[in-house]
Amino acid sequence: MDLIYKRISEINRSMYLFYPPGPNRTAFKRCSITVLRDGDDEASVHKLLFETGLARLAENDDVILSFPNPVDGRWNADLAGEDVAVFNKFQDAMIRPDDKPFEFSPNGFPTYESMMSTWHPMNDTKYLIGIGSGADLACTLAANYPDNIAAVLCINPTINDLPTDKASFAPMPVRLVNCPYKIKDYFIKANEAEPVEQTDNISIYENKINPLQRVIDDRLNKELTPELLESVWNELFKKVRRTNTGAHGDCEPRMDIKKVNFEIYLDDDRLDGKPHTWFTHVPSGIKKEQKEKVPLLVFFHGGSDNPAEAAEMSKFHELGEKEGFITVYPWGSNKTQWNCNMDETEPDDVGFAVALIKYMIANYPVDEGRVYLSGFSNGAAHAQAVAMLHPELIAGICHINSNWPGRRIGPSDINIEEMKPFSIALEKKKKFDYRMPVWYTYGSREASYPVYRGCTQQHQYDFWKRYNNIEIVPTPDRDNPHPCGCGVPGHKYTLLKPSKRHPHHEYDVHSFYSMDKEPLNLYNYVVMRDKGHEVAEMDPALGWAYVKQFRRLPDGGLEIIK
């Protein structure tokens, strides 16, 4: 791949980009490394690319590299300076080699054309290397604006202390090469780390609860070498991702896809004669030919994402390994997003999902009464659409962060009876009174929180309450939201703190019960405090713990598994 020079007209700055080989859209996840170097010429980039192993890393591990250019060959780490202010513009600019703006549709979602023409470095795996004055800026950003930085390598900073006027003291995994004591001391405090290993040249500090929060104090190296890059990649960057599940993000483990026993089907036409892509994970103790049937969980990725990203976000397959269920991660037919609204000009993704489920039942030891759906964002919308249209196949859903139906931000004046998947679902219920167990997780830093009348959340939960014979109570308006934050308080409230790695993660669970003769808990609105648009560590586990108790019977009814 050639080195690309890009001018960013919005900020009148420039950068160099180096993309890994292959198409910009694949079924596999891409991370990014931004290198802040002293110098603003192409020669300095070539030196780093080919003398330190960065080019080889990009090619072998599918890494997008960006090299922003400083003004006059040097970075300014002053919090009030231009370099701090424009850093996120550099990060945003790496998605495409030209300066064409990203386009959005009227509903606020990126257009298909924009998504297909851009690269997709995920926000949770953006890493930073700073050298010299670039290390000054890297340290300042990591301390004061850590939200979209997963880990940092700082080499030979020229400052002795950090400007911490806005310091977050949020956890930030770092390797500090020849760094002053005050900088090292800040990151040790931010990670709440303690010494675990010390030699004459290297000291390692880790957090007892979350070892990903680590500081490596390196007094051996003096510059970026192939050996140092390999060490940082394998010991830091390859291990940690930063999720949007706290005020400034949390440190979560990465998934090494090469070590996961996925069955990968790329553009395979066996389902319906059309090319489809999906990843399947079968737990190690389960054989395809075994007679004992096991549950199936299908997880639909978010808009612009892919199967590998969905697997790393949710890690449902890891839960499946422990709990004994098969996991499938499909890729939307147009390789950007799911056609949950059943637009006739787009591929039939509901048909794809149904064909995939039936294929899994026919070819794997899947209990056809225990098929469950989950998904994130646009994938969460699709999980609902599939369950609405084919409730006879689905025993429960546990979707995450769905801003659907309606506009993502602000109220929407819509009638769900005029929207295709909803109207078909309601017609189908007239023939048989299906019920659909729902565990839905949202974040308190999401677009429609606190929930108000007319927002996506109100339209969504009122539908499922209606579907499950649960009393619908009017949702307060935007100017006077209910103190519970989720629009309408549940019949039962539970506060959960389920994460050992992140004790600060808290969930408000509002459980709703049907008006049947024997009331059933068929809808749960779950808000994770401080979570943004993200899948948190315990979201899948909590959802699975709920849905796994239900089985869909051949006559369409539900059975509760004891």
Give mean pLDDT, residues 171-175. 98
The answer to whether the beta carbons of residues 422 and 388 sit under 8 Å apart is yes
Give mean pLDDT, residues 441-455. 96
Cα-only R_g, the chain: 25
Predicted confidence band of residue 394 (pLDDT cuts 50, 70, 90): very high
Q: Which of 245, 240, 233 is nearest to 214 (CA)?
A: 240
Predicted confidence band of residue 107 (pLDDT cuts 50, 70, 90): low
The answer to whether the beta carbons of residues 428 and 471 sit under 8 Å apart is no
Which of 158-167, 276-285, 431-440 has the weakest average pLDDT? 158-167
Q: Is the dihedral of CA 378, 246, 142, 179 positive or negative?
A: negative
Q: Is the dihedral of CA 338, 342, 343, 347 positive or negative?
A: positive
3-state secondary structure 456-522: HHHHHHHHHHHHCCCCCCCCCCCCCCCCCCCCCCCCEEEEECCCCCCCCCCEEEEEEECCCCCCCEE
Give mean pLDDT, residues 49-67. 97
Give mean pLDDT, residues 268-293. 96
H or E stretch including 54?
helix 54-61
User: How high is the pLDDT of residue 116?
Assistant: 85
Q: List pLDDT tens digits, range 240-273.
A: 999 999 999 999 999 999 999 999 999 999 999 9
User: How high is the pLDDT of residue 1?
Assistant: 66
C-alpha separations of 272 from 64, 74, 226, 268, 383 in Å: 35, 57, 48, 9, 20
Q: List pLDDT tens digits, range 355-383.
A: 999 999 999 999 999 999 999 999 999 99
The per-residue pLDDT of the chain, averaged, comes to 96
Q: Which residues contact 20 (CB under 8 A, 6 or more apart)?
A: 1, 30, 58, 59, 61, 62, 63, 64
User: How high is the pLDDT of residue 36?
Assistant: 98
User: How high is the pLDDT of residue 166?
Assistant: 80
Per DSSP, the residues of 60-96 read HHTEEEEEEPPBTTB----TTSHHHHHHHHHHHHTT-
The answer to whether the beta carbons of residues 236 and 175 sit under 8 Å apart is yes
Q: What percent of the chain has pLDDT over 70?
A: 99
Task: Report the alpha-carbon distance of residue 263 to residue 279 in Å, rounded.
Answer: 6
The label of the residue with tokens 């596999």 reads 28
More confident of the two residues 288 and 188: 188
pLDDT at 438 over 80: yes
Q: What percent of the chain has pLDDT over 90?
A: 93
More confident of the two residues 220 and 114: 220
Q: List pLDDT tens digits, range 110-157.
A: 788 888 889 999 999 999 999 999 999 999 999 999 999 999 999 999
Task: Report the alpha-carbon distance of residue 239 to residue 247 in Å, rounded.
Answer: 22
Predicted confidence band of residue 164 (pLDDT cuts 50, 70, 90): confident
Q: Which of 207, 152, 161, 167 is nearest to 185 (CA)?
A: 161
User: How high is the pLDDT of residue 108?
Assistant: 65
**Residue 127, number of CB atoms within 10 A of its CB:** 24
Q: List pLDDT tens digits, range 417-427.
A: 999 999 999 99
pLDDT at 57 over 80: yes
Give mean pLDDT, residues 7-27. 96
